[in-house]
Structure 1
Amino acid sequence: MSFKLSKKKAPLFIVCLLILTFLSGIAAGYFSSHGITENAKFEAFSREVFRSEVSGSALTLHYSLAHPEKQGISRKKASLGTVPTDMKNTYQICAQYEEKLKSFRYSHLSTENQLILDSMLLYYHTEKSLGDNYLLQEPLGPSLGIQAQLPVLLAEYAFYEEKDISDYLNLLTTIRSYFQSILRFEEKKSQAGFFMSDTTLDRILAQCAAFIENPDDNYMQDIFQQKLSACKKISPSEQQALILTHKKLMKTEVIPAYQELMTGLEALRGTGKNTRGLSFFKGGRAYYIYLLQSQTGTYVPVNQIEKRLSRQLSDEISTAGKMLRQNPELLTTLNQGISFKEMEPAQMLNCLRKKILSDFPALEDVSFELRTVHDSMKDYLSPAFYLTPPIDTGTPNVIYLNPAAGYQGLELFTTLAHEGFPGHLYQTVSFERENPSGIRSLLGTSGFAEGWATYVEPFAYQYAAAYINDSSATDLAQLSWLNRSINLCMYSLLDLEIHYNGWSQAEAASFLRAFGIEDSTVVSEIYQYILETPGNYLKYYWGYLSLLDLRTAEQNRLGQDFDLKDFHSRVLKIGGVQFPVLEKYIDR
């Protein structure tokens, strides 16, 4: 989930002019000999930007820092803020940041600070490039929209201090005003002809209805009580009073906020005329390119992405076909179901921790928690997801599993690798142990994060062969990965074709038919999901291919000196950046 830039003005740096040349010379010499260097000035600037941006939303602040006061950041009254209907102020801030970043003497900065500057400059330049297409943004969605993610973010709002409890309760009182700002944004979208289709509207309304269906038995109340019981400084009587307050707020603020959101959206029904991809909106193609750059972190032209995906799809199908011609029985086993050793999810994660040591650097003393998605949300959330901990604590590392997905055996094992080891959890903890600048936590792209977690999956399938009860375990594991890779590649190509080249559902159905997907209900669901989440599959698969191609380039550069574990170590140390920045610094 991404958060908007705050509306604060960029800090002004006031320099006192020294009148006497003699004194100016003395001052310059003093500062030079006492460490007021270009690095120090840049680090001061990046810290100030971090403090300003991280304070823009109470959720951003809380999920970034458990104890913001220790970072010199004072908390304001907790609020979800608003969704702006005008981006002029945001673009002005981006321009100010760009100008300041360009003023630093690049060659005088350390390699780490050069990397941060490059990433910041590219980030703010990309945000500014959104321009007049900002109305094509969609904060709502059946599974990835803010109204679906917000209950989980609030449920996971940790109580590190007593202040966090009051902040959390205050946040509940701001949901209504936040949703009202979303409705104003949606009304403006509607007036511009950019409102969602009725099909998407129905799916969002169904998600909202499921969340508020049982107001007296909402899972947020149970979780609030569980978190309170862990606060030893709060007496039983105080806990009971807080539970009653929370229950009242759920009924008077949270539930009504969702009801008002549903009513406001229903009033806009029928105003969304486009039932096809972004290219059918004015500015839609330019907006799609912005999504690829800002979310996927790639600046490769669309036609080159399309060619690379097509080549990969052809290669994967060729490899799978060769394997099946050599051993046709593999397909029978896949269709009947692979027999996998019985293990609990926690056991799988612990097995993965040991297995990855042959290919990835060791990571000691890492704790994790496994939780289950509540029944009321299971139809609208991802099969699994990892919640990153605050950068000043590094804990808790929570992985959610959605029982609605029904994952088990090989599928569960590789999913846990994606979310845990050596995926999201492993990458996040590894990078944070490098003690990076705070600003890095706000600059990472989904393309790097999801690309890394997808990149490690073929390794996980290799590791899984040890737990497959079949003499052809290695081939079955490889074929299973090829099947997943082919599917992700297909959907990524469809994403490009639907949103950039304007494919209809009939054209998408013809494409899928070539791969044996003929069920009209399945085709419709695939098409609708891609319509609602432009660029989402590319974050995973193009991110994966970007890392795979970078590895190949490093292998070609280093020849026999290439070491896989060392390559992974270098990527992990650089951390989440846009792919042009990663490519620039990988061999430094």
Structure 2
Amino acid sequence: MRVLLCLLALVLLGCQSDSTDPSPAAAADDDATTTFRQLLADYQEGRLQLNPLEATFLGDDRYNDRLPNMLSQDYREESRTFYQDYLAKLLRTDRSSLSPTDQVSYDVLKWDLNIALQGADFATELLPLDQFDSPHLMIGQLASGQSAQPLRTVEDYENWLLRLEDFAVMMDTARVNMQRGLARGYMLPRPLAEKLLPQLESLADEPLEDHLFYSPVAMMDSLGADDRERLTQDYKRMVGQRIIPLFVDLAAYVRNEYLPQARSSSGIDAIPDGAAYYNYLIKLYTTTEMGADEIHQLGLREVARLRNEMESVKAEVGFDGDLKDFFDHVRNRQELMPFTDPEEVIANFESIYTRMQPQLEVLFNKVPRTPFEVRRTESFREASASAEYNPGSQDGTRPGIFYVPIPDVEAYNVFSDEDLFLHEAIPGHHYQISLTLENEDLPAFRRNLWYSAYGEGWALYCESLGRELGLYEDPYQYFGMLSAEMHRAIRLVVDTGLHSKGWSRERAIQYSLDNEAESEASIVSEIERYMAIPGQALSYKVGQLKIRELRARAEEQLGDDFDIKAFHDLVLEGGCLPLAVLETKVDGWIQAAK
């Protein structure tokens, strides 16, 4: 996920002083607070104008007709200037004059601006498309009419046509940038280009009436006849004369020119400035100063620890054979592949939620108001997709959605479903993101931040709560939890291996096969995901270990006074934070509780 999400708030609420001291010093502090909060409001508004898709996902419809060309040099220069200007404004603020809550906002904004400016130094626009995280995939989701882009009114349909034209311009730039990238040594690894091609080909397919981007036409029943006829013709022209030809040409380019020149190396360190870029990505995704070697060694230690726990489960179920044999047993056990209809997979996740609900109130004080649904991943991206969570809107009109890919229902293995639900859905991403969006005491920009170490670290931490929530009674489901944690530990090893130690895709795949029970097809998809978005996979385990460390610290120091619900409230209440800021918050809470 990466994914990044909050509703614009024009009135920002923070911790107010109880003092009514009318002294000049107090008045100056009030002025500083007012100025600072206006800075936060202006920053958030500027970010939404720079990133109108973000506004759409927040339920802010003001920019639904826009999609700036984020692959162009003009946009990159505009973004850099924006972050530089706000950093200069922030540094003119006297941090000591702010309340504790506003000081946290100051620290978070400073980190956010600095990391954005560091990223601006790298030529990421020369790798514009991949099979996992690309504009064509995001816009494809929106085009389905089942995602964040509203398609209810005449204005909505017109906005989407305008946004589609901007998207077509961006994709034209993507092709130009790919050509520039080839000339300068920036290109995808060949396996990723091979997975990208069928995605583009599927969007080049006719007939028009069956095209994904034409699907909004089927949703126009509520419109008047004249508007429906006019818009239908507009969509026919846009999809038939602009979108389909664009993808026909782009697919041909990738097939005939790009793919033959794709690189044989697997790691990002093979591109120009790749090693420095990977170091930046480690910092971006973990919010720490950890290095690749340190993370690699941490991963090796965690893999060894988890193998020992897996051995215990293997013994519990009475399996004869080594751990690798047990992985094959779990992968192929027919009792763990019971479904013949994709709806049965969805129903199984809903039953998990029902079973755990009575225990949620034991661990959590606060429950999101945002609705929640489980859905099957759309067919056009299902083959390459992982399970994921898409946040709802703050006003509750769009639910949080847990997407589950089911490309082959008869091969769908349930052994990790309980664990997966805890991570992607409840109390993982749905609680975390929804409670942040709903927290009107946070300034708007903090309700919209996503730091992967915190966000994914929290979700992985939630996987360990299964027994406290009445799950993992079946040893195979508990093994699923261990397998998922092992999966994240392996990521520390293979991501750093691929991008800093010269590992090949095949070596990373084999290391995963040797140490976890995921299917080979799933492992291949995961390794190629790490190749497409280097560093992101490091965030899960780094964040989880920090949150577990902080809970253990609080339990040890507070003893019988430790309140698990209060701890969870504390971790969730401030939204996404860099890990060092979170640690400072928890340490302060412990001292206050003493």
TM-score, normalized by the shorter chain, greater than 0.5:
yes
Moved more, 438-447 or 326-335: 326-335
Cα pair distance change 1:240/1:312, threshold 3 Å: same
Paired position in structure 2 for 1:249: 238
Q: Provide the rounded CA distance (Å) in 2 between the counterparts of 1:107 and 1:301.
A: 32
Paired position in structure 2 for 1:428: 433
Q: Deviations over 1:333-365 (max 9, x none)?
A: 846345999845444334444332222234164
Paired position in structure 2 for 1:404: 407
Paired position in structure 2 for 1:188: 180
The answer to whether the 8 A contact 2:365-2:569 is kept is yes
Cα pair distance change 1:100/1:3, threshold 3 Å: farther
Q: Provide the rounded CA distance (Å) in 1 between the counterparts of 2:290 and 2:391.
A: 28
After superposition, residues 98-137 of structure 1 pair within 5 angstroms as 98-130=87-119, 132-135=121-124
Q: Provide the rounded CA distance (Å) in 2 between the counterparts of 1:35 and 1:67.
A: 35
Paired position in structure 1 for 2:162: 170
Cα pair distance change 1:152/1:494, threshold 3 Å: same
**SS at structure 2 position matched to 1:439:** helix
The answer to whether the 8 A contact 1:291-1:535 is kept is yes
Q: Deviations over 1:550-585 (max 9, x none)?
A: 323333443443322221111110111222222222
The answer to whether the 8 A contact 1:148-1:380 is kept is no
Paired position in structure 1 for 2:38: 44
**SS at structure 2 position matched to 1:147:** helix
Structure 2 counterpart of 1:276, one-letter code: S
Deviation of residue 286 (structure 1)? 1.6
The answer to whether the 8 A contact 1:454-1:540 is kept is yes
After superposition, residues 219-298 of structure 1 pair within 5 angstroms as 219-226=212-219, 228-229=220-221, 234-265=223-254, 266-298=256-288
The answer to whether the 8 A contact 2:67-2:166 is kept is yes
The answer to whether the 8 A contact 2:364-2:565 is kept is yes
Cα pair distance change 1:414/1:379, threshold 3 Å: same
The answer to whether the 8 A contact 2:87-2:113 is kept is yes
The answer to whether the 8 A contact 2:435-2:572 is kept is yes
Q: Provide the rounded CA distance (Å) in 1 between the counterparts of 2:139 and 2:544.
A: 28
Deviation of residue 88 (structure 1)? 4.7
Structure 2 counterpart of 1:448, one-letter code: Y
Cα pair distance change 1:276/1:344, threshold 3 Å: closer
Find 1:151's aligned residue among 131, 140, 148: 140
Deviation of residue 491 (structure 1)? 2.9
The answer to whether the 8 A contact 1:133-1:287 is kept is yes
Q: Provide the rounded CA distance (Å) in 2 between the counterparts of 1:377 and 1:53.
A: 28
Q: Provide the rounded CA distance (Å) in 2 between the counterparts of 1:526 and 1:30.
A: 59
**SS at structure 2 position matched to 1:275:** coil
Deviation of residue 161 (structure 1)? 5.7
Deviation of residue 224 (structure 1)? 4.9
The answer to whether the 8 A contact 1:80-1:174 is kept is yes
Moved more, 304-313 or 574-583: 304-313
* Percent of pairs with identical residues: 18
Q: Provide the rounded CA distance (Å) in 1 between the counterparts of 2:337 and 2:247.
A: 44
Q: Provide the rounded CA distance (Å) in 1 between the counterparts of 2:171 and 2:177.
A: 10
Q: Deviations over 1:173-196 (max 9, x none)?
A: 222211122223323322221112
Deviation of residue 44 (structure 1)? 0.2
The answer to whether residue 353 in structure 2 is matched with residue 349 in structure 1 is: yes
Q: Provide the rounded CA distance (Å) in 1 between the counterparts of 2:512 and 2:57.
A: 40
Paired position in structure 1 for 2:591: none
The answer to whether residue 449 in structure 2 is matched with residue 459 in structure 1 is: no
Cα pair distance change 1:425/1:583, threshold 3 Å: same
Paired position in structure 2 for 1:83: 71
After superposition, residues 169-568 of structure 1 pair within 5 angstroms as 169-214=161-206, 215-226=208-219, 228-229=220-221, 234-265=223-254, 266-325=256-315, 327-329=317-319, 334=330, 336=333, 337-338=335-336, 343-363=347-367, 365-382=369-386, 384-391=387-394, 395-404=398-407, 406=409, 407=412, 409-435=414-440, 436-460=442-466, 463=469, 465=471, 473-505=473-505, 507-508=507-508, 511-512=511-512, 514-515=514-515, 527-568=527-568
Structure 2 counterpart of 1:221, one-letter code: Y
The answer to whether the 8 A contact 1:462-1:478 is kept is no
Structure 2 counterpart of 1:257, one-letter code: L
**SS at structure 2 position matched to 1:133:** coil
Paired position in structure 1 for 2:8: none
Deviation of residue 62 (structure 1)? 1.6
Moved more, 544-553 or 261-270: 261-270
**SS at structure 2 position matched to 1:153:** helix
Deviation of residue 124 (structure 1)? 1.4
Q: Provide the rounded CA distance (Å) in 1 between the counterparts of 2:348 and 2:458.
A: 25
The answer to whether the 8 A contact 2:454-2:579 is kept is yes
Q: Provide the rounded CA distance (Å) in 2 between the counterparts of 1:513 and 1:401.
A: 22
**SS at structure 1 position matched to 2:84:** helix
Q: Deviations over 1:500-549 (max 9, x none)?
A: 12223464466446538899988766654432232232233333233223
The answer to whether the 8 A contact 1:57-1:81 is kept is no
Deviation of residue 217 (structure 1)? 0.7
Cα pair distance change 1:500/1:239, threshold 3 Å: same
Moved more, 429-438 or 453-462: 453-462
**SS at structure 1 position matched to 2:570:** helix
Structure 2 counterpart of 1:550, one-letter code: L
The answer to whether residue 55 in structure 2 is matched with residue 61 in structure 1 is: yes
Deviation of residue 315 (structure 1)? 1.5
Q: Provide the rounded CA distance (Å) in 2 between the counterparts of 1:35 and 1:164.
A: 44
Cα pair distance change 1:176/1:351, threshold 3 Å: same
Cα pair distance change 1:544/1:260, threshold 3 Å: farther
Deviation of residue 267 (structure 1)? 3.2
Structure 2 counterpart of 1:568, one-letter code: H
Q: Normalised by the size of structure 2, how large is the TM-score?
A: 0.81
Deviation of residue 484 (structure 1)? 2.1
Deviation of residue 46 (structure 1)? 0.8
Q: Deviations over 1:89-147 (max 9, x none)?
A: 53343232222212211122122221111111111111222354334873311122222
Q: Provide the rounded CA distance (Å) in 2 between the counterparts of 1:177 and 1:137.
A: 16
Q: Provide the rounded CA distance (Å) in 1 between the counterparts of 2:234 and 2:382.
A: 27
**SS at structure 2 position matched to 1:268:** helix
Q: Normalised by the size of structure 1, how large is the TM-score?
A: 0.82
Deviation of residue 394 (structure 1)? 6.6
Cα pair distance change 1:295/1:30, threshold 3 Å: same
Q: Provide the rounded CA distance (Å) in 1 between the counterparts of 2:83 and 2:577.
A: 18
Q: Provide the rounded CA distance (Å) in 1 between the counterparts of 2:408 and 2:446.
A: 33
Cα pair distance change 1:145/1:99, threshold 3 Å: same
The answer to whether the 8 A contact 1:172-1:253 is kept is no
Deviation of residue 246 (structure 1)? 2.3
The answer to whether the 8 A contact 1:356-1:421 is kept is no
Q: Provide the rounded CA distance (Å) in 2 between the counterparts of 1:284 and 1:376.
A: 31
Deviation of residue 422 (structure 1)? 0.7
Q: Deviations over 1:48-103 (max 9, x none)?
A: 111111012332222224354xxxxxx59523433134745533432322222122
Cα pair distance change 1:46/1:559, threshold 3 Å: same
Q: Provide the rounded CA distance (Å) in 2 between the counterparts of 1:113 and 1:247.
A: 51
Deviation of residue 389 (structure 1)? 2.8
Question: What are the ranges of 5 or more consecutive residues in structure 2 without an aligned counterpart?
Answer: 5-21, 321-325, 589-594
Paired position in structure 1 for 2:570: 570
Q: Provide the rounded CA distance (Å) in 2 between the counterparts of 1:476 and 1:263.
A: 46
Moved more, 110-119 or 340-349: 340-349
Paired position in structure 2 for 1:140: 129
Q: Provide the rounded CA distance (Å) in 2 between the counterparts of 1:563 and 1:340.
A: 40
